[in-house]
Structure 1
Amino acid sequence: MDAAKDPNPSCKLHTRLRLWEFADRYIFEPIDGLADLYLSVSRAGGSMNLVEELPPRSPSTNPKVQTVYGVIGVLKLAVGSYFFVVTDRDCVGSYLGHAIFKVTGLKVLRCNDSLNTSFEQKKMESEISELLDAAEKTMGLYFSYDINLTLNSQRLYDVDDEFKSRPLWRQAEPRFLWNSYLLEPLIENKLDQYLLPVIQGSFQNIQAEVGSEKVNVTLIARRCTGRIGTRMWRRGADPEGYAANFVESEQIMQSKGYTASYVQVRGSMPFLWEQIVDLTYKPSFDLVRQEEAPSVLERHFKDLQKKYGAVLAVDLVNTQGGEGRLHERYAKSIEPILSEDVRYVHFDFHRICGHVHFERLSQLYEQIEDYLKKHKYFLLNEKGEKIQEQLGVVRNNCIDCLDRTNVTQSMIARRILESQLQQIEVFGVNDTITKYPAFDASYKVLWANHGDAISIQYSGTPALKGDFVRYGKRSARGILNDLQYSLARYYLNNFADGTKQVCS
């Protein structure tokens, strides 16, 4: 597949660096054979330059040394600069033939001369320490040294050779480049080989045997950097149309030499609304500048159409109470732009499915089956040639875009995967995943882990209703877990997420 082609060798990213911590500077020494120059960073102010050798060393200097695996970026503040470096990584699988790594260790290198700063600056430094500590604990960061992880398979296939020859940071989709702001100082210094693009989200993979064939399924979540933040502190959309908790989920299937991909998105209802955290269990929903709702929503959907083609909006919220007011605003605001390419379907998940009958989602599938078949999925044959492309996207939402949304997305993805396996004749015409118990069990866990990862990043807890996604049925234990997670979300929303929001 052309999309997996290596980038320009001169732009290859450093994969291993020896970090020397001298009294006056940090030195990054490439130990991967890609360059002879070292990156020197002043500890006094964060200025950067490339040098040909290490400073003289003696027993009295005794610099601390460790191996690091990339520079995520630099945060410049009034009190100094802060370098974020990857100290540990795990290889979690591959994306179109290239290794994907998860950040498992992140360290902040402080570049400020604390001996010469004023009392006010020292106070400010102390205040931001908590934020930097929170940043070091950021979850769900993934990267590749070789391939653009911010683009889904179909978009990656369609770019030309000139695009693929650029440094990875220049190829990145800004919406999903988690560290775009942090990379700016490195870009200014033309340090392409140190510019490591990172996404936040999830990367899951399973392998299964279906008869004599092997099936590999990868599931990637890419969180959008627009209107980023935590549950209740970030709701709705901003005036530009960026929606809170907007995530692109791509499911990739590989078998018999074929590669298929299907993309769905989730995001908060795309108009101006909010919840004010006030210690109540369910703060009331406030609609803001209601007269702007149609224009904000139109901006959001125009952007979706530009990137994905046709859009089917699946709204899963209640019709009663506060959720009902949001549903009415959504339905009314989207009405002027409904067309052949923008469709809206409301499915009252709680009324129809309750807390246990999630199999009733088949009723939703019956309503949208024609759309799914018409807009297809991306498919490459054994020669890496495109024989089909995805022409539209399903946009799912509930209130948090976590629990009901993940159950629904997993149902849609399952139906699409079955269609793909039928088309390439791994499955018979009427086969389903449930016919293969081991595959079925692994696939459920894949989507449950996907939902948990997104939920933890937005709400601080695993997803509710996860037992259905994980095991295919509701259980007493699952319902008790949901109660525990709900109480944990209440605590986090009111007493912890403020710091996380500032850090975001």
Structure 2
Amino acid sequence: MDGTNDGSPPSKLHTRLRLWEFPDCYIFEPIDGLADLLLSVSRSNGTMNLVEALPLRESSTPKVQIVYGVIGVLKLAVGSYFLVITDRDCVGSYLGHAIFKVTGLKVLPCNNALNTTSAEQKKMESEFSELLDAAERTIGLHFSYDINLTLSAQRLHELGDEYKSLPLWRQAEPRFLWNSYLLEPLIENKLNQYLLPVIQGFQNINAEVGSEKVNVTLIARRCTRRIGTRMWRRGADAEGYAANFVETEQIMQSKGFTASYVQVRGSMPFLWEQIVDLTYKPSFDIVRQEEAPRVLERHFHDLQKKYGAVLAVDLVNTGGGEGRLRERYAKSIEPILSEDVRYVHFDFHRVCGHIHFERLSQLYEQIKDYLKKHRYFLINDKGEKIEEQTGTVRTNCIDCLDRTNVTQSMIGRKILESQLQRIEVLGVNDTISNHPAFDTNYKVLWANHGDAISIQYSGTPALKGDFVRYGKRTTQGIVNDLRNALARYYLNNFVDGTKQGG
């Protein structure tokens, strides 16, 4: 895939393709000037070849449309399916590069050889269509043609030019690459210009503080390990991967400065589960208690390698089933507590109740020394590093949704205020709440962020307070992993799953 017209590096991603649908193949014709060769995909078995020209067809008139990228290829027993982006919206920028949201998806079946009846084919395609409609509405897929969205600003800054010259998919952090499995067939065919990395979750606002413009972006990088919906996916696995693990990066840009702060959320990192039954709050069960310290140590060791110091903020209740989990967490983490690993328990419901979120200031007083010590990432308009983040906060409640999101937004607000004070957009004692329009926008930004993560994990938007959702399974496969959902449909499980959703 070396053909280029304008001296662009071979790894430059295609931004616009003309899709031709012939009876025996699909042809992707680059129309962005980045390559002369066309990609031909067999409709009978999904094999891919680069060709120099469109096939000559006298009898049929092919269907033609513009597409904006290939999300990947789903390989199933019944054939291969190409997922392509038919619509996109530019929703903001990350370090000067445009970010797009997927607003239209299309599946291209490559299973002509199976001789499926037209009735079966229609049923299959109607299921695909429903699935994709739901996915577009809820899944929050985002991508960039130019920059690696899977890495934080600080990690990107630390990388050398040699690394940045690699194809985007090679630069990507596998944990946060939503379509890694779907890209494999394209990787095998060395189609670098078609390998578009996709993540879940991006929100941003543009606001003014006095006369200064301030842009704040939130990126949610949802880990692809141990995914699944709430109640069906709790705790950590034996490798230390925690359920609903999300890296949240808050990026501020103003006056030529760029600042970033990374924090994480994830289920309590030891082996536990929730016994799903028809009760409103199914009970918790700690599995293989004796292994808890080992699993937890593995989890925190991994966090330290990636983020430096770690402050674990545990927001669960002191009593009942949550209290038993809290005791196990506190006891299991004790052997590894140090200067670099701290644990703070804060009974969110008891202190804050349903509405008194301002009482989170009590938690802030306990952790502010840690936040000040480990700072945030800051570069000036020349790209020179002024500050470095040397530790992160890991927050959990039971779902790592509602209480966690409110708490993370408080931490994000405090960090943002110190960043804006540092670059003199805010005065020394000034706060975001003194600027009502900015304050409102900032709250909405975090609420949307919480909703996006919540929909992916529970099927419902986040609720603030102590109402624990009874997670609907209707969109389980869609919002967690499209591949699983499609596979389940073919195993006649997906429909069963939707029936259980009530």
Q: Which residue of 1 aligns with 2:472?
A: 492
CA-CA distance at 1:194 after TM superposition: 0.3
Q: Which moved more, 1:335-344 or 1:272-281?
A: 272-281
On the 8 A contact 1:135/1:503 being kept in 2, the answer is no
User: What letter corresponds to residue 268 of structure 1 in structure 2?
Assistant: S
CA-CA distance at 1:500 after TM superposition: 6.2
Whole-Å separation in 2 of the counterparts to 1:224 and 1:93 = 22
Give 1:3-42 correspondences, 5 Å limit. 9-42=9-42
The superposition leaves residues 145-194 of structure 1 with CA deviations (integer Å, 9 ceiling, x where unpaired) of 00001000000000001100000000000110001111110000000000
Q: 1:28 to 1:306 in 2, by over 3 A?
A: same
Give 1:287-366 correspondences, 5 Å limit. 287-366=286-365
Q: Which residue of 2 aligns with 1:442?
A: 441
Whole-Å separation in 1 of the counterparts to 2:409 and 2:27 = 46
TM-score (norm 1): 0.90
User: What letter corresponds to residue 353 of structure 1 in structure 2?
Assistant: C
CA-CA distance at 1:128 after TM superposition: 10
CA-CA distance at 1:497 after TM superposition: 3.2
Give 1:149-164 correspondences, 5 Å limit. 149-164=149-164
What SS does structure 1 have at the residue aligned with 2:36? Answer: coil
Q: Which residue of 1 aligns with 2:65?
A: 66
User: What letter corresponds to residue 22 of structure 1 in structure 2?
Assistant: F
Give 1:171-250 correspondences, 5 Å limit. 171-200=171-200, 202-250=201-249
Whole-Å separation in 2 of the counterparts to 1:256 and 1:379 = 12
The superposition leaves residues 78-110 of structure 1 with CA deviations (integer Å, 9 ceiling, x where unpaired) of 221111111111000000000000011111111
Identity %: 80
Q: 1:65 to 1:343 in 2, by over 3 A?
A: same
User: What letter corresponds to residue 134 of structure 1 in structure 2?
Assistant: L
On the 8 A contact 2:99/2:142 being kept in 1, the answer is yes
Q: Which moved more, 1:312-321 or 1:130-139?
A: 130-139
On the 8 A contact 2:169/2:196 being kept in 1, the answer is yes
What SS does structure 1 have at the residue aligned with 2:470? Answer: helix
User: What letter corresponds to residue 295 of structure 1 in structure 2?
Assistant: R
Give 1:405-484 correspondences, 5 Å limit. 405-465=404-464
User: What letter corresponds to residue 14 of structure 1 in structure 2?
Assistant: H
CA-CA distance at 1:279 after TM superposition: 2.1
CA-CA distance at 1:498 after TM superposition: 6.7
Q: Which residue of 1 aligns with 2:500?
A: none
Structure 2 residue aligned with 1:137, among 126, 134, 137?
134
On the 8 A contact 1:313/1:343 being kept in 2, the answer is yes
User: What letter corresponds to residue 61 of structure 1 in structure 2?
Assistant: S
- Alignment of 1:167 with 2:167, yes or no, is yes
Q: 1:460 to 1:399 in 2, by over 3 A?
A: same
Give 1:235-274 correspondences, 5 Å limit. 235-274=234-273
The superposition leaves residues 322-367 of structure 1 with CA deviations (integer Å, 9 ceiling, x where unpaired) of 1111111111111111111000000000011111111100000000
- Alignment of 1:503 with 2:485, yes or no, is yes
Q: Which residue of 1 aligns with 2:89?
A: 90
What SS does structure 2 have at the residue aligned with 1:9? Answer: coil
Whole-Å separation in 1 of the counterparts to 2:204 and 2:286 = 40
Q: 1:128 to 1:302 in 2, by over 3 A?
A: farther
Whole-Å separation in 2 of the counterparts to 1:181 and 1:464 = 32
Q: 1:499 to 1:431 in 2, by over 3 A?
A: closer
CA-CA distance at 1:253 after TM superposition: 0.8
CA-CA distance at 1:125 after TM superposition: 11
User: What letter corresponds to residue 485 of structure 2 in structure 1?
Assistant: C
Q: What 5-or-longer segments of structure 1 have no aligned partner? A: 1-6, 466-478
Whole-Å separation in 2 of the counterparts to 1:386 and 1:245 = 32
User: What letter corresponds to residue 25 of structure 1 in structure 2?
Assistant: C
User: What letter corresponds to residue 399 of structure 2 in structure 1?
Assistant: D
CA-CA distance at 1:276 after TM superposition: 3.0
What SS does structure 2 have at the residue aligned with 1:492? Answer: coil
Q: Which residue of 2 aligns with 1:371?
A: 370
User: What letter corresponds to residue 415 of structure 1 in structure 2?
Assistant: K
Whole-Å separation in 1 of the counterparts to 2:128 and 2:459 = 17
On the 8 A contact 1:204/1:219 being kept in 2, the answer is yes
On the 8 A contact 2:8/2:34 being kept in 1, the answer is no
Q: What 5-or-longer segments of structure 2 have no aligned partner? A: 1-6, 487-502
The superposition leaves residues 359-386 of structure 1 with CA deviations (integer Å, 9 ceiling, x where unpaired) of 1000000000000000000011232100
Q: 1:399 to 1:37 in 2, by over 3 A?
A: same
What SS does structure 1 have at the residue aligned with 2:472? Answer: helix
User: What letter corresponds to residue 191 of structure 1 in structure 2?
Assistant: L
User: What letter corresponds to residue 503 of structure 1 in structure 2?
Assistant: A
Whole-Å separation in 2 of the counterparts to 1:231 and 1:449 = 19
TM-score (norm 2): 0.90
Whole-Å separation in 2 of the counterparts to 1:147 and 1:404 = 32
Q: Which moved more, 1:214-223 or 1:149-158?
A: 214-223
How many residue pairs align between the two structures? 473
